[in-house]
Amino acid sequence: MIRHSDNASESWKTLPWKQFRRNLFRLQKRIYKAILAGDRHKAMSLQKLILKSKAARLLAIRQVTQLNAGKKTAGIDGKKSLTFEERFELEELLQASSNDWKHQKLRSIPIPKKDGSTRMLKIPTMADRAWQCLAKYAIEPAHEALFHPRSYGFRMGRSAHDAQKVLFSNLRSKSSGIEKRVIELDIEKCFDRISHTTIMDNLIASKGIKAGIFRCLKAGVNPEFPEQGTPQGGVVSPLLANIALNGIESIHKYKSDGKTREPSIRYADDMVIILQREDDATEILERINQFLATRGMKISEKKTKITATTDGFDFLGWHFKVQNNGKFRCTPSVDNIKKFRQKVKAIVNCSNYGAKEKATRLAPIVRGWRNYHRFCKMDGSKNSLFHIETRAFKVFNKEAKQDYYSSKKLLDKAFPSVPYSENKFVNVKGNKSPYDGDIAYWSERNSKLYDGHTSRALKRQNHTCGHCGLKCISDERINLHHRDGNHSNWKIKNLIAVHESCHNYIHMGNREQQP
Quick one: which of 438, 434, 496, 432 has its CA closest to 462?
496
**Half-sphere exposure at residue 407, Cβ-oriented, CA atoms within 13 angstroms:** 16
Sign of the alpha-carbon dihedral angle for 59, 64, 65, 66: positive
Neighbours of 223 (CB within 10 A): 5
Largest CA distance in the chain: 71
Cβ atoms of residues 222 and 232 within 8 Å: no
Cα distances (Å, whole numbers) of residue 12 to 88, 176, 465: 8, 58, 20
Q: In this predicted structure, what is the pLDDT of residue 298?
A: 94
Cβ atoms of residues 236 and 216 within 8 Å: yes
Q: How far is CA 267 from the centre of its chain?
A: 10
Sign of the alpha-carbon dihedral angle for 143, 149, 154, 158: positive
Distance CA 230, CA 234 (A): 8
First to last CA, the chain: 21
Q: In this predicted structure, what is the pLDDT of residue 294?
A: 94
Q: In this predicted structure, what is the pLDDT of residue 24?
A: 96
Cβ atoms of residues 239 and 229 within 8 Å: no
Runs of H (alpha helix) within 315-354: 334-348
pTM for the model: 0.90
Cα pseudo-dihedral 213, 214, 219, 220, rounded to 10? 80
Q: In this predicted structure, what is the pLDDT of residue 373?
A: 95
Distance CA 308, CA 370 (A): 28
Cβ atoms of residues 131 and 94 within 8 Å: yes
For 384, counting Cβ atoms within 10 Å of its Cβ (0-12 exposed, 13-18 middle, 19+ buried), the class is middle
Cβ atoms of residues 133 and 60 within 8 Å: yes
Distance CA 450, CA 472 (A): 12
How confident is the prediction along the chain (515 residues), in pLDDT tens digits per residue?
444 445 667 788 889 999 999 999 999 999 999 999 999 999 999 999 999 999 999 999 999 998 888 788 888 888 888 889 999 999 999 999 999 999 999 888 888 877 777 777 888 999 999 999 999 999 999 999 999 999 999 999 899 999 999 999 999 999 999 999 999 999 998 888 899 999 999 999 999 999 999 999 998 777 777 788 888 888 999 999 999 999 999 999 988 777 888 899 999 999 999 999 999 999 999 999 999 999 999 999 999 999 999 999 999 999 999 999 999 999 999 999 999 999 999 999 888 888 888 988 999 999 899 999 999 998 876 777 888 888 888 888 887 666 667 778 888 888 988 888 899 999 999 899 999 989 889 888 887 777 778 888 888 888 888 888 888 777 778 888 998 888 778 888 889 999 888 888 887 653 444 33
DSSP states along 436-455: G--HHHHHHHHHTTS-HHHH
In this structure, what are the phi and psi dihedrals at residue 322, rounded to the nearest 5 degrees? -100, 120
Cα distances (Å, whole numbers) of residue 254 to 137, 280, 434: 36, 12, 29
One-letter amino acid of 79? K
**Residues whose CB is less than 8 angstroms from the CB of residue 390 and which lie 6 or more positions away in sequence, other chains included:** none
Rg (C-alpha) for the chain, rounded Å, is 24
Sign of the alpha-carbon dihedral angle for 417, 422, 426, 428: positive
Cβ atoms of residues 104 and 128 within 8 Å: yes
Q: Strand 305-308 to strand 254-256: parallel, antiparallel, or no bridges (unpaired)?
A: unpaired
Cβ atoms of residues 265 and 153 within 8 Å: no
Q: In this predicted structure, what is the pLDDT of residue 402?
A: 60
Distance CA 28, CA 32 (A): 6
In this structure, what are the phi and psi dihedrals at residue 388, rounded to the nearest 5 degrees? -70, -30
Quick one: which of 228, 192, 9 has its CA closest to 118?
192
* Helix, coil or strand: residue 141: helix
- Identify how many contiguous H helices and E strands the chain contains and give both numbers: 20, 13
